Amino acid sequence: MNIFKIENVNDAPWKILFLSLFLSLIGLTALNSISHQNSTFIQNPFYKQLFFLFIALFSFSFSFITPKYIIHKYAYVIFGTGVFIVILPFFGSPHAGTYRWLNVGLPFNFQPSEFSKIFTVIALARYLSDNTLKIRKFSSIVIPIIIALFPALIVLNQPDLGTSLVMVSIIFPMLYWAGARPFYLFLLVAPVLSILSAFNVILFSIWAFIMAIVIFYARTKIISGVSYFFGNIFFGLLARPIWEMLNPYQQNRVLTFIYPEKDPLGAAYQIIQSKTAIGSGGFFGKGWGQGTQTHLKFLPVQESDFILSVIGEELGFIVIALILITFGYLLNTIIRYSFLSKDKFSSLILIGLASILLAHIFVNTAMTVGLIPVKGLPLPFISAGGTFLITSYLMIGLVMRFSIHYSD
C-alpha cells in the first residue's frame, strides 16, 4: 500500500492554497517594485522570493502528502528535531550579532526557529489529544507549558524575542481548544499583566481589583485564591528588575512605542517612516513603483518587516484592506475546518497553525501602524524571507492534509 496516497483529494480545501498564492502574488508585486536597483540575483529580493516560492511549493507538497498517522506517531520525534535544530546555530558563527541563522553552505542562510514553531504545534496537539488526559485539572497543563517554553527560551537567547513570543502564544488557544478551564489560562497570563501594569500605580491598582474579582468568581479555595492574588502582586514587584534585564535595544523599542516623538531620528525612525508611507499613499496609492518613502530609502527593512508600508504607499489602503480581508477569510476557513474535524488531533493541529499565522499577521500589521513596538516578524506569504515562506507553505500543506477525510 502506498502510504502517501490521499483519497478524496478533490475534497481538499484547495481555496486555501489559492488564497496563499494570491497573497504571494501581491508580495511579489511589491518586491518587484523595490528591487529594480539591485542587479545580482542574490541581492534582488524579487528573484530571491520567486526562487524560494518554488521551494515553498515543494514543502507544501511534502506536508500535504505525508500521512496523518505518521505525523501523530512521530510527533515527539519531530518536536525533538525542532529543539535540536534551534540549538545548532549556537555552534556556528553569529550573524549580525545573533545566533538565529544556520549556515548550510549555500548563498543564503537557514532560520531553524521557523520550523520549530510548527514542530511545537505538532507535539502540543499530540499531547493534548490524548484521551486519558484530564485537561480540566491544572496539573495537566504543566507539560504543555514546558513543551512550548523549552524551545521558546532557546530562541529567546539567540536572541529573537518576536519568534519566542509567537511560540509561547500558541499554547493559549490550543489549551482552550483542548478544554482547559479559562481560569487556568487567566492564571498563566496574569503574571505578565501584573508586570506590565506595575509601572503605573493606577493601572496596577485596577489590575489588582480585576484579579480579585476573577479569583472570587472562580470559586477557588481560600488559600489558593490568596496565593494567586499575592503571587501576582509579587510578580508586579519584579517589574523593575525584569526591565533592567532587557537589552538596551529592547528597552528602546518599548520606550519608542510609548514616546515615538522623543527620538524621531533614532529608535522611532522606523515607525514614523512606516506611518508616513501608508498615510501618503491614501486610498488608491501613488502607483506601482512611485513610492518616495520606499525608493528614496527612507523606509527601512521595507522588503520584510515593513512590506505592508510599501503596499500602502504604492497600491493604497484599498489593497491593504483586500489583504486583511483575505487573511481573515483564510483564518476563518482553517478554524471552520477545525470545528468539522472528526478527531481531536487534527482539530488541534489546525488551531495551532492558525494561531501562528494570526500572531504574525497581527504583530506585523500592528507594528506597521505603530500600535505595538517593532518586533521584526514577517507577514505570511508577502514579506521577503526564504525560510519563513517555506514554512508558511509547509503549514498550508498541513492545514489541507488535516482538513480532508482520507484513509491512511
Tell me the pLDDT tens digit for each residue of 345-376.
999 999 999 999 999 999 888 888 877 777 77
25 part of a folded domain? yes
Domain residues for 363? 9-401
CB 304 within 8 A of CB 364: no
What pLDDT band is residue 118 in, cutting at 50, 70 and 90? very high
226 part of a folded domain? yes
Q: What does 350-381 look like in DSSP terms, one character per residue?
A: HHHHHHHHHHHHHHHHHHHTTSS----PPPTT
Half-sphere exposure of 352 (CA within 13 A, CB side): 31
Mean pLDDT, the chain, as a whole number?
82
329 part of a folded domain? yes
Structure-model confidence comparison of residues 242 and 231, the more confident one = 231
Supply the pLDDT for residue 398: 95
Tell me the pLDDT tens digit for each residue of 129-166.
887 777 777 778 888 989 999 999 988 888 788 888 88
**Rounded (5°) CA angle 333-339-343:** 125
2 part of a folded domain? no
CB 311 within 8 A of CB 343: no
- 247: exposed, middle or buried (Cβ count in 10 Å: 0-12, 13-18, 19+): exposed
How is residue 95 annotated by DSSP? B
Structure-model confidence comparison of residues 56 and 194, the more confident one = 56
Q: Is the pLDDT of residue 196 over 90?
A: no
Supply the pLDDT for residue 18: 95
- Which residue reads 480579585 in cell numbers? 212
CB 117 within 8 A of CB 355: no
The total domain count for the chain is: 1
Supply the pLDDT for residue 106: 66
Supply the pLDDT for residue 2: 53
Rounded Cα distance, 235 and 227, in Å: 12
165 part of a folded domain? yes
Q: Is 50 helix (H, G, I), strand (E, B) or coil?
A: helix
Quote the percentage of the chain above a pLDDT of 70. Answer: 86
407 part of a folded domain? no
Inter-axis angle of helices 112-128 and 171-178, to 10 degrees? 20
The grid coordinates of residue 365 equal 500589521
- Which residue reads 525612525 in cell numbers? 269
406 part of a folded domain? no
Mean pLDDT value of segment 261-289: 70
Q: Is the pLDDT of residue 96 over 80?
A: no
Q: Is the pLDDT of residue 206 over 50?
A: yes
Inter-axis angle of helices 142-156 and 75-87, to 10 degrees? 20
Supply the pLDDT for residue 268: 64
82 part of a folded domain? yes
Supply the pLDDT for residue 89: 84
Q: Is 41 helix (H, G, I), strand (E, B) or coil?
A: coil
